[in-house]
Structure 1
């Protein structure tokens, strides 16, 4: 019985390792170019709404149909060499960082709509790249 458990653990480790090796690189995900940050209004990298090549700038999500009262950011790919941070404010004076997308990071579903309830991916006002922060 012990030998079967050890064999199964070895097979599982190989299967998981193979999955990690075969994972798609971020540049191949969602059709996002290798030097861009891409935000999508739908899950599964559908409805591309925003791309940015700047490594230190902020952008209003409402300009791209992804802020309050919309589906928000439902999937993303960050092919920039810097992080991207989502921000929220109530009065334009006090900003709060609510999420970070690491360089090379991607997801096909942020949970903005599918997760139910409140989501910063759905309610944020701005996204900034690199060390940029809202004014």
Structure 2
């Protein structure tokens, strides 16, 4: 009889512990930038809207996303390649900032970085 009580208690304890782990997972999913990804944010300290990419040889425009992404204010690059923010000017594209592989910045400090409709973020050897 004693074993049944211990088994019931242990079963309840494991269910409670499992419930705690299950509720902690969604909070962790919104945490730091995952391995092998680059994350750009439109607020300081890795906050605000986030764009996440795992590509190592492609470009995207931050302004093409359905939500209103502001400008690139902070980033975390966990890719094995650099990413470059390309700004569009009258005479074509110019590299405005390199987001180095393994690098991060909680406040880039460049006004309007990636904020215009044709601006691009290109990873690896890709170019606009």
The interval holding the TM-score normalised by the smaller chain is 0.5 to 0.7
| Larger proportion of strand | 2
Asked whether the equivalents of residues 39 and 51 of structure 1 are also in contact (C-alpha less than 8 Å), the reply is: yes
* TM-score normalised by the chain length of structure 1: 0.62
Q: String of CA shifts for 1:89-124, please: whole Å, max 9, x gaps.
A: 146x71111110110010111124xxxxxx252545
Indicate how the Cα distance of structure 1 residues 122 and 60 shifts in structure 2: closer, same or farther if over 3 A, else same: closer
Q: Do 1:77 and 1:105's aligned partners in 2 also have CA atoms closer than 8 Å? A: yes
110, 113, 119: which one aligns with 1:121:
113
| Partner-residue secondary structure (3-state), 1:128 | strand
TM (norm. structure 2) is 0.66
Query: Which structure has the bigger radius of gyration?
Result: 2
Ranges in structure 1 where 5+ consecutive residues have no aligned partner: 1-29, 113-118
- What is the root-mean-square deviation of aligned Cα atoms in Å? 1.9
Aligned with 2:94: secondary structure? strand
In structure 2, the residue matched to 1:130 is 124
Query: How many residue pairs were aligned?
Result: 94
Name segments (4+ residues, structure 1) moved above 6 Å.
none
Unaligned runs of 5+ residues in structure 2 are: 1-30
Residue 41 of structure 1 aligns with which residue? Answer: 42
Q: Are the equivalent residues in 2 in contact too, given 1:39–1:75 (CA < 8 A)?
A: yes
